[in-house]
Every structure is written in C-alpha cells, then in structure tokens.
Structure 1
Amino acid sequence: MSRIKKGGALAASVVALVSGFEGLRTYAYRDPVGIPTICFGETRGVKMGDHKTPAECKDMLISRLAEFETGMRKCLASPDTIPDNAYAAFLSASYNIGTGAFCKSSMARRANAGDIRGACDALLAWDKAGGFRLPGLTKRRAKERELCLRGI
C-alpha cells in the first residue's frame, strides 16, 4: 500500500523535498561521481545527450518515487506507523542512496526497532558519494533529519 498517493499532501511534500535537493536539469549531465543523470536526479537508463521537458521530468519523479516507496516499505517492519515527516525524509534518502542501501542502513534497522529518533539521526551518516563527503549531501541530510524529527 502506498502512502504517497498522487495529489496527496505527503506526495506533495516528498516531491517538493526531493526536487528541491536534486534540482531540475532537462539535459543529461554527469553527477559528482560521473554517472549520467537527468531531471531530478534520475540515473536509470540515462545517456549523455538525453533531453526531457519539465513535465516529463515531474512525471518521471512521481513514478520513480512510487517505485522507491514500494522498495522502502518492503524493508520496514511497520511502515504505516512511521510519522509522515519521518516517512518523507526516509523516502527522500531512499531515492538518493537507493533502496538496497536504505534497507541495509542503520536508518531502517533503527526504525524497525521502534527508534524513529535514532533512525532520523542516522540520516547524517549518508553524506558521501564515491567515498568523499559532499557538502551538498551534508546539507541535504541535515534538512532531511530536521524534517524527520519534526513532530516526534
């Protein structure tokens, strides 16, 4: 079951969060570690020279967030008990680091143990790409953690 239904408040929150961090680029570019990327951080099937319209990018983001949510939910023991802000932060992180990494992370382990605050704190560990700390990721994780802790 999805919690980010199209047009819902949680979906709007996650789309705004992810698109704000990723930024919109309608032409393919290489991310900081050299992976071809387009739109709002999309890497799947992207080749240099690709181009998308802003509307195509938004549709792609919504579709991919639904896929990442499905993957994220599979590794969470009680995904529907996680507060909305924490859920949005974890989905943003999953979109950025990949579902496999999220599922193996201390975020997922702590959330599954009922330690949502600890899971939120664990977001801060995910600020590296290619083994290097990236200031943009450090800032992103701090904002995700801030959102995650809101209302807990």
Structure 2
Amino acid sequence: MSLIKRLGIPVIGGALTIAAATVSHFEGRSNEAYLDPVGIPTICDGHTQGVQLGQTLSNDECDKLLAGDLGDAFDAVDQHVDVVLPPTRRAALASFTYNVGEDALMRSTLLRKLNAGDVVGACNELRRWVYAGGRKLAGLVRRRKAERELCLIGTEQGTLIAGQPAGGGS
C-alpha cells in the first residue's frame, strides 16, 4: 500500500485540499510556539514568520495562518512552474514549497527538470530534500516520500508505486 493511502491523504479533489491534508499531517498543529528540529520558533502548522516563544494562538488563528501560508506556496509554484500541473503534482509542489520556501524552489534542480519536461526526474528530486540543519530527519524522509508519490501520479512511475500495472490498470 502506498504511503499516501496509509496516511489517509486524499488524492481526489482540488490541489488545495490535497496540499492542506499533506501539510497538516506532516507539520502537525501546536497552538503554542516551540522550536522546530533546527531551532526555528514555530507555531500552528509549521508557521515561522514572526513567531516568538511563549506565543499562543487559537485554532481559528492557526487556520488563517495555514490558509495564508498555503496560498503563498501555491502562488510560488504557479509563478515559477512553466508547465501544466495536475492537481496532485501541484499539491505536492505546494507542500514542498510550504516546507522549504520559495527561494529553495526557485534554485532547485527539481524546478529546472520540471520546466524542461522531465516530470519523473523532477519528482525524484524530492528524495534529496530530507536534511535540516545538516541532519537527515526521518520526518522529512516520510514527507518527501508522500510528496513524491503525489507528484508521480499520472506517470508510469506513479502507477507502479500505487501497485497498479504499468499502463494504468483499473
């Protein structure tokens, strides 16, 4: 069974629904500010901008931050990707960008490969983005695996990951 199925991440629906489920699953929610694994003050679903330790936010405030941060991630993807993306691939890239930021997306080999038409190569680049603070983090390995699965849906690689025969299956 694929990781995205085991995690209950929906693959039917719009890119926003898919990305929100992916981000929420991997970021988790904390209404109180904390230091992430590399020491960055973080709150809610991975929000870092302007966060101070000791800060507390309501679920409604966290929902608004998530919506805004996801909107920024989608804007970055839409601005820098020159090819048409199916919803699952767009969601995977938005989740990735939410986590690493627009600057990292812009400088990435992933983006260059995607814009050159190498979808499988671009999706496979996600596996390289598993380090934070110079350490390989198990949570990032799992997240990138799920993002890669989402990214590959609709490619021959994607059907093999999902356990269907190459060519689509039923």
Q: Which runs of 5+ in 2 are unaligned?
A: 1-12, 156-170
- Map 1:56-67; keep pairs closer than 5 Å: 56-67=61-72
- For 1:110, what is the secondary structure of its paired residue? helix
TM-score scaled by structure 2? Answer: 0.81
- Report the counterpart of residue 93 of structure 2 in structure 1: 90
TM-score scaled by structure 1? Answer: 0.90
Distance 1:10 1:87 in 2: 6
1:107-143, Cα deviation, whole Å (9 max, x unpaired): 1111100111111100000000011100110111011
Root mean square deviation, CA, Å: 1.1
- Report the counterpart of residue 113 of structure 2 in structure 1: 110
- For 1:46, what is the secondary structure of its paired residue? coil
1:42-74, Cα deviation, whole Å (9 max, x unpaired): 000000011111121112111111112212222
Q: Tell me if the contact between 1:72 and 1:103 (Cα under 8 Å) persists in the aligned partners.
A: no
Query: Would you say how many aligned residue pairs link Structure 1 and Structure 2?
Result: 143
Q: Tell me if the contact between 1:82 and 1:116 (Cα under 8 Å) persists in the aligned partners.
A: no
- Report the counterpart of residue 148 of structure 2 in structure 1: 145
- Report the counterpart of residue 5 of structure 1 in structure 2: none
Distance 1:12 1:76 in 2: 20
1:15-44, Cα deviation, whole Å (9 max, x unpaired): 111011100000000000100000000000
Give the fraction of aligned pairs with identical amino acids, expressed as a percent.
43
Question: What's the offset of the Cα at 1:10?
Answer: 2.0
4+ residue stretches of structure 1 with deviation over 4 A? none
**Please, which of 23, 28, 46 is the counterpart of residue 23 of structure 1?**
28
**Please, which of 124, 128, 143 is the counterpart of residue 127 of structure 2?**
124
Question: What's the offset of the Cα at 1:86?
Answer: 1.0
Distance 1:71 1:146 in 2: 21
